Every structure is written in structure tokens, then in C-alpha cells.
Structure 1
């Protein structure tokens, strides 16, 4: 991955993915260094915690900004790998999670080293893996992750009911509120990112974008433009598709709440499985599915595979396949996707089809594992209690016999 990033300008590798660092992150670094968030920049759409991440390379002044950023990303990658490996060697665990992360991340070529999503994923992974040991630490890391890129708050959906849930969310509230207060004191306009979210349209790589790309082959007259840091569709029906995506996100949230209410069975893997399912559902219903989103899914799928009780093994395979297709979409054949050729449209159809299948399968398996009645003393996957095949009269006779044995004499 480092070699690919060092040769980022080779035509065979597609576009320059490092441009985001030295044109975007480094530019914002200059503004953040003055004690203010880039409130007037329409490309700034990140929570206030992201500002600290983008300022962090300044702590390594002997390197260029890009070199320091990549060094921090590699360090975060190492932290994730070590955390997954340590979790995998404990009793009842597996090293498949560490193997998935180590083998799956390079499928995205050098992209993970030129985005700060690896650092965010590290916070989410540590949050999940510390849940069984310290709910306060789990909540603190989830809160820090949410302050950097919102989605890590979803990893707490599967926290066990009762004291654990209350402790986790109390930690989230304390850590989040205190961190946000400190950021508000240190920087101006910490909530400026909210102003840019409402105007976002439908990105060409989203599920709605795939539908519009197919519609363009049937005569739809829309166009593609660079807006809000992404290639988005413009034209008739685009606002309708955007609103439909938001409605689907609301439906996904409702389904997750329904599972939470109906779930009666928790295993050691349930918090991990619920986190992957939640992020998958919110990803496929989003108006934006950038290629770096696959880093989140790889990290959460890897956490699931550290447990031998996970229900998400086939989902992890689908995520891995979608990751491989994503690297072909961007950066290798991204001009085809922008031009909406049949090649580009087919690639998006395959990638988003895999993600949609993964989300549906993930939720279905999560639902079955959480709501199924379990045979007492059974091990492994949850199984519904079988209906008795014994006729009614022997059962009645057996009950009468037990009753008669209680009689005196």
C-alpha cells in the first residue's frame, strides 16, 4: 500500500488519491491552526473532532504533512491489527478477525492511507473490543469516534440491556459533552459542518446514484457535477431520490430499534453483530457511499470474526467482495463511473448489490439470533425450541405419575 501511494501518479493506477490530503486536509490544517473551523468552506462536512485529527500531523514537523498523515494512519492500522489479534487469542475467540483486516484492507489499494477513516475505525474497534471489560472505556472511545465522524455512535446499539447499557451511554454523554465543550472553547464555529449537510445531493456511488445511472441509459436527462466534495447527480428527480434515501434511512433506524426491543438473547458476539448490521443499513441507505466507507465495514466485520459465536461470517464475505469491487470503481475505472458507461454502471450495480445483500443478510441473521427461543443447555447457534412429537396421552400419563408419587404412602 505504501509503494502504491509513493507511485500515486502512475496512469495505470487511476486518479491521484493523495490529492485529498494535500489539497483538502492540509488546506484545512492552515485554517484550524488559527483556532477556527473552515465555516465558509462548503467542503467542510466533518464533526468538530475531525479538526484534531487533521491537526495531528503537525506534531511531526520533521516530515511533510502528507508523510506525517500517512505515518499516523499506519500507526492506527497497527493498533487495529494488534487489538484484533489480542482479542482473537482469548478463549472462545478466533484470529479470523485479524486475518480479515490484514488481508482485506489492501484490497482498497492505497486509498486507506490517504483518508482519515482508518483512525476513526480504530476508535470504533477499540470501543467494541473493550465493552466486555469496561463499559466506561467503551463509551468513551465511541464518543470520541462520533465526534470525529458520527458513525461510531452506532456501534453501541448492541450493548447488553440493563446496567451495561446505562453505563455505556452515561460514559458517552460525559465524554462527548466535555470534549465538545473543550472544542468549543478552543475553536470558533465548531458546529459549522451542520450547515453543509442539508445541501448534499445524490452521489454517483450511492444506491440512489446507481438507480439514476441506470435511468440515464433509458433517456433520463440528468448530469454529473462536482459538488460538496463529491461527484453528484443534478437534474429532474434527483431531490426525490435524495428524499427517498433519507426515508429509507429512517426505516433502517426503525428496524434496528425494533430488533432492540424484541431481542431476548445476547451472546458475546451480539454487540459486534449489531454494530456491523447498523452501519451496513445506514451505509446502503445513505445519499453518499464513498469508497472509504468500506474501511468502516472491514473493521466491524473483523471485530465480528474475532468471536466464534458471530452470525455474520457470510456477511463478512460479501463485505470483502464489495471491497474488491470498490477498488475497481475508484480509482481504477472512476472515469467510466462518472461518464455512466455500461461498464461504470455495471460496476456500481455489482458493488451496491453486494452491499445491499450484505445489509439484508446481516439484519436477518441478527434478528434470528436475538429473537429465537433457545433450547436450554444448547451450545452454538440459537435454535427454536422443537415442538414435542410425543402424543398427548403419554405426556398426561407421565404428569399423572409424577403427581401420584407425591401422595403419602
Structure 2
């Protein structure tokens, strides 16, 4: 029965992925913004610069760690295709790698096939943006690293470090490694890998650290949690506007810098909470590294100044890993994230013009999506804390029966008359 379910999941994956490919290849054109434009213009421009052996350090839209160059250059592996089609195919292959990793993890029925279904269903809920950004490649590396935590901690640490050099967030996966030898092994390997690869990029390719400046100068993007202040403010006399800035559509005007700083402050508080959790956590079950990774990335996604649609693919990948464990406590937050994924496809690309215009449809959709992410974050963190930190209340002990005196005669049983 389980085998039939997995075969069905592979069939559903194949059908839904063909639909996504048809969308990015413009065989079937969705209404709203074209998700493929950035690949054909921005990514391909970076590709031309990176092939010369240098980073695009004079381009403010380059806001990624140095290993991101490998993702941008990956279409060169398919020289028989033009850049954009090759990029879509590479993303499709990364999607297939995630599916294969999950299928391998649940082989033999030792784990739950629900994890496979979360990935199979979650990606099409998010839409063709998954194949039009390199985040699915990062997610494949992160899923591989997280699944390796249980038995191959050094490999897990190396993969998480490599993922962090691709797009920073996979470093958060280290927060839930079990205490003791596993943590020392994973963290030390991650540190060595990150330093070694970082120095290699810095020495061989000029501009490897330019992304830090461009990230620092970013403002409040129109899809973030903080942007709701300005979406609503537009209806009450706030004089600002939304325009393309630092590679995404951001709000510009009064109080934007203040809200951006508040968002950074929330991210700092999130990091502080994770640190406190790590210091106080005492009970680490088999599923704890997965639950902690999901909660950590959910925290930083929700508090970010930029919640781009492709960020949700990170959460779907980590949710899938969590759901391979029958004992995970993240079921409800994961369900909320899947609903948020479908709303994300509505706000981009389908109704993005409404979001930019801050009209009622755009604001309502964005408020609901961000609200679901906030609720999912609070529930996820609360469940993680309750399971690993909070002390269990001792069970009530019933009084022990009296010990009979060896010298006393045995007592005759007392018979009670039944009435009624």
C-alpha cells in the first residue's frame, strides 16, 4: 500500500512539474507579472560578468553570498540550450533531487510518506516562480544536509555551510543539531567549510563580499510584513510610493527607514530567542533537528524586510523533511505554510499589480498571507519550546498499599452487597 502511494506521488510530481515547465517556457502564460524576466535580463547579465572571473560588484542587484555564482553559472552545464531554458531545466533537476532525497528517506516505511507529499503538492501551490529563481537549488542542498544530520554529521555540516554560501539561510539548520558530539562535529565542519570556500572565492574572484553592502542598504519590500504599515497608510494619507529599488519593488518615503530598522530589530530578537532556546533545550528527539530548522527559518522569513515569493520554497522543503518524521510537532504550522504558499502565488504573479497599487484586493491577500506566516511562526516556536525546554509535570503517584504484618492472620475479603 505504501509503495502504491509513493508511485502515485511520483506520478503527481511529474504531471505538476510539466505544468510548471510549460509556464516558465511561456507555452501556458499566467496572468500578471512574468516570472521569467529576471532570468533573461538580470541573471543572464550576471552570467556574462561571472564568466570573466569577477563578481558584478558594481551592480546593486547582486545581493548574494559568493557561492551563488555557481548557481548562476549552472546553466553552462547545458551548452546546447540558451541561458534561460537551461536555467529552468537546472531548477527542474534540483526539484527532482529533492524528491529523490525524500523518497530515499522514507524507503521501507520507516518514515512517513507525508513528507514526500508535502513537497509534491507544496511546490505547485507556490507556482512557476520556483523554476524562475535559484532558491530551489539552495533548498536541495539544505534538504540533503538536514537529512544527513542523523547519521553523517560531518557531511551535514559541510552541506549546510555550502548552502549558507549560496544564500545564507541554511546556516540556521545547525541550530537543532543534538548536543554533544553531533553538534561539535557538524559545527566544526561547517566552520571549516565556510572559511575555506569563502577565502577561495575572495582570493580568486574580486568583489566576493560586495553583497554585504547592497543587503545593508535595502529597504522595506512591498510583500514583507512591515510593508503592511505603508499599504494601509496609503489609504490614510501617507505620502510615499512603491518602485523598483535594489532589485525588488520597495516602498520609498517617510518612515520607511524606521520600519526597516524595526524589521531588523525583530530579526535580532528572533536570533536571541533561538539562542535562549538552544541554551535551555534539554530533550532532543529524533525529529528535533528538523522541527528546530523549520522554526528557525520560519522566524527569519517572517521578520525579514523582504519576503519574496521564492522564500516560501525554503519553508516547503524543510516542512517536507519534518513530515517524514511521524513524531514531528509541526503539523499545524506546516499546513498554514502550505495555505500561505497558495496565497503567495496569488499575490505574485497573479495579482501583483494590485499589491503594488495597495488596493483592497492586494492588501487583503497580502495581509492574509503574512498573517498566516506570523501565526505559523508563533505556533511552531511555542511547540518547539514546550517539547524541548518546558519541564514535564511529574505524574501523580497513588499511595502504596499497606504492607501486611507477617505475624497477623490473613484478613477475610469484605463482600459488598450490590444494591439497585
One of 22, 41, 44 as aligned partner of 1:3: 22
CA RMSD of aligned residues (A): 1.7
Could you say which residue in structure 1 is the equivalent of 2:394?
A: 385
SS in 1 for 2:244: strand
Report the structure number with the largest CA radius of gyration: 2
Contact 2:24 2:88 in 1 (8 A): no
Q: CA deviation at 1:55?
A: 1.0
**How far apart, in 2, do the equivalents of 1:256 and 1:136 lie?**
22
Q: CA deviation at 1:182?
A: 1.9
Could you say which residue in structure 2 is the equivalent of 1:378?
A: none
SS in 1 for 2:242: strand
One of 120, 126, 137 as aligned partner of 1:119: 137
Could you say which residue in structure 2 is the equivalent of 1:135?
A: 153
Could you say which residue in structure 2 is the equivalent of 1:57?
A: 75
Contact 1:143 1:175 in 2 (8 A): yes
Matched, 1:242 2:251: no
Matched, 1:74 2:127: no
**How far apart, in 2, do the equivalents of 1:204 and 1:387 lie?**
54
1:294 and 1:257, CA in 2 relative to 1: closer, same or farther beyond 3 A?
same
**How far apart, in 2, do the equivalents of 1:303 and 1:90 lie?**
16
Moved more, 75-84 or 52-61: 52-61
Q: Superposition pairs for residues 301-312 of structure 1, below 5 Å?
A: 301-312=319-330
Q: CA deviation at 1:185?
A: 2.9
Could you say which residue in structure 2 is the equivalent of 1:32?
A: 50
Could you say which residue in structure 2 is the equivalent of 1:226?
A: 244
Contact 1:298 1:319 in 2 (8 A): yes
**How far apart, in 2, do the equivalents of 1:85 and 1:91 lie?**
10
Per the normalisation by structure 1, the TM-score is 0.91
Per the normalisation by structure 2, the TM-score is 0.89
Q: Superposition pairs for residues 302-381 of structure 1, below 5 Å?
A: 302-373=320-391
**How far apart, in 1, do the equivalents of 2:347 and 2:162 lie?**
31
Contact 2:25 2:85 in 1 (8 A): no
Moved more, 206-215 or 284-293: 206-215
Task: Provide, for residues 355-380 of structure 1, a one-character-per-residue CA deviation record: whole Å limited to 9, x for no partner.
Answer: 00010010001011112445xxxxxx
Matched, 1:108 2:126: yes
Contact 1:8 1:18 in 2 (8 A): no
**How far apart, in 1, do the equivalents of 2:338 and 2:191 lie?**
34
Contact 1:9 1:16 in 2 (8 A): no
**How far apart, in 2, do the equivalents of 1:69 and 1:333 lie?**
25
1:6 and 1:223, CA in 2 relative to 1: closer, same or farther beyond 3 A?
same
Contact 1:9 1:15 in 2 (8 A): no
Contact 2:22 2:28 in 1 (8 A): no
**How far apart, in 2, do the equivalents of 1:243 and 1:90 lie?**
49
**How far apart, in 1, do the equivalents of 2:54 and 2:192 lie?**
24
Matched, 1:180 2:198: yes
**How far apart, in 1, do the equivalents of 2:246 and 2:62 lie?**
8
One of 7, 22, 33 as aligned partner of 1:15: 33
SS in 2 for 1:177: helix
Name the count of aligned residue pairs: 387
Matched, 1:208 2:217: no
Q: CA deviation at 1:243?
A: 0.8
Q: CA deviation at 1:228?
A: 0.5
Instruction: Could you tell me which runs of 5 or more consecutive residues in structure 2 were left unpaired when the two chains were aligned.
Output: 1-19, 407-420
